[in-house]
Amino acid sequence: MNVDEALATVRVVGRPPAANEVSMLVAQTLADEVERQRGAVAHVRELHRPDPWGDCPTCAPDPEGDDLPYPCPTMRVLESEV
Ligand SMILES: [Zn+2]
């Protein structure tokens, strides 16, 4: 549920939402989003970890080519942004 959807549920009650209700909904919605994104980042980290040869087995440029050395481009971006 995003912030707009959360606010829409308050409006259904038939009165304007109180400031504290809006704050709580926004805070909960943001906390839910942070949790969802942490799960996504953990999944990416799971897929892009080094194999015993120090390569990222997920990032293979072509089926007959070598794997990319770890950290692969995906992990370099992830580490610089998160
Ligand atoms: Zn990778």
* pLDDT (tens place) for every residue of the chain, 82 residues total: 666 776 676 666 677 778 888 888 889 999 999 999 999 999 999 999 998 989 898 987 666 767 788 999 999 999 998 7
Whole-number Å distance, alpha carbon 45 to ligand 1 midpoint, is: 9
For the chain, what's the residue count? 82
Asked if 21 and 49 count as a contact pair (C-beta separation under 8 A), the reply is no
Nearest partner of 25 among 47, 8, 6, judged by Cα: 6
Whole-number Å distance, alpha carbon 56 to ligand 1 midpoint, is: 5
Residue 19, C-beta contacts closer than 8 angstroms, at least 6 positions apart: none
- Rg of the Cα trace of the chain? 21
Asked if 46 and 74 count as a contact pair (C-beta separation under 8 A), the reply is no
Question: Whole-prediction pTM value?
Answer: 0.67
